[in-house]
Chain A
Amino acid sequence: QSVVTQPPSASGTPGQRVTISCSGSSSNIGSNYVYWYQQLPGTAPKLLIYRNDQRPSGVPDRFSGSKSSTSASLAISGLRSEDEADYFCAVWTDSLSGRWVFGGGTKLTVL
């Protein structure tokens, strides 16, 4: 059971906008930055969003992040087939002397 929770799956058709949620608590999302990663099968995770809503250079602006209270969201607009991947959130938690925790991942299917 992850400390931060994500829906196990999400889906959309090409061109649609989909959102993936990451729900936590005051000790993690509520007080720290949230990061989002994309992982294609057999490949290294790729940073999509840092510090809640910042995009690294090279990440398309179709990807956006937001945070409100103890929840965060990743939105993907203009969905494309190559967006089919696993997405997970990461956040520092102040509990247990501080550590990183990760969402269980959301498998995005492009129909």
Chain B
Amino acid sequence: QITLKESGPTLVKPTQTLTLTCTFSGFSLSTDGVGVAWLRQPPGKALEWLAIIYWDGDKRYSPPLKSRLTITKDTSEHQVVLTVTNMDPVDTATYFCAHMLRGPGCGGSRCYYYDYWGQGTLVTVSS
């Protein structure tokens, strides 16, 4: 059974760096065709994809946010960490991590999809 859980601060101040941890079980991030992604959803708005780290260590970032994001994995600890620098009130959102699986007969980022999600953690940016 695959489970993921997000953890981190619920409140950060503007300009601070946010560090979120996704702790997962039921799969290995060393397995071919697996990835873990971070996404967020501001209150009342659509989901926004942030970053993905794949089983082979490859990483992809959302182009508009790329300069502020870093995603890393600790395979042995079953964790994926996302850092977001220079936080702003517009970054207030529920942050999710999700397990990604590559579809059969396909290669590249477009072939992975989210099949299991964490429940999310609300992060508020305010002074």
Contact check, A102 vs B118: say whether CB atoms are below 8 A apart. no
Q: How many residues of A contact B (CB 8 A)?
A: 28
CB distance from A54 to the nearest CB of B (A): 9
CB distance from B117 to the nearest CB of A (A): 4
Inter-chain contacts of A88 with B (CB < 8 A): 46-47
Select from chain B the residue with minimum beta-carbon distance to A5. Answer: B46
Contact check, A47 vs B115: say whether CB atoms are below 8 A apart. yes
The answer to whether A111 has its CB under 8 Å from any CB of chain B is no
**Residue from A43, A88, A99, A100 whose CB has the most chain B CB atoms within 10 Å:** A100
CB distance from A91 to the nearest CB of B (A): 9
Interface string of B40-68 (1 = CB under 8 A from A): 00000111110000000000101110000
Contact check, A90 vs B109: say whether CB atoms are below 8 A apart. no
Given contacts A44-B118, A96-B63, contact A105 B46 (CB under 8 A): yes
Cα A42 to Cα B118 in complex, Å, equals 11
Inter-chain contacts of A45 with B (CB < 8 A): 96, 98, 114, 117
Could you say which of B4, B63, B116, B117 contacts A99, with CB atoms under 8 Å apart? B63
Contact check, B119 vs A47: say whether CB atoms are below 8 A apart. no
Contact check, A50 vs B113: say whether CB atoms are below 8 A apart. yes
Inter-chain contacts of A2 with B (CB < 8 A): 46
Q: What's the interface size class on B, roughly?
A: 20 to 34
Interface SS of A by simple majority: loop
The answer to whether A7 has its CB under 8 Å from any CB of chain B is no
Contact check, A102 vs B49: say whether CB atoms are below 8 A apart. yes
Cα A97 to Cα B63 in complex, Å, equals 7
Inter-chain contacts of B48 with A (CB < 8 A): 102
**Residue from B48, B103, B110, B120 whose CB has the most chain A CB atoms within 10 Å:** B110
CB distance from B113 to the nearest CB of A (A): 5
The answer to whether A104 has its CB under 8 Å from any CB of chain B is yes
Contact check, A43 vs B103: say whether CB atoms are below 8 A apart. no
Inter-chain contacts of B115 with A (CB < 8 A): 47, 50, 56
Inter-chain contacts of B46 with A (CB < 8 A): 2, 88, 102-105
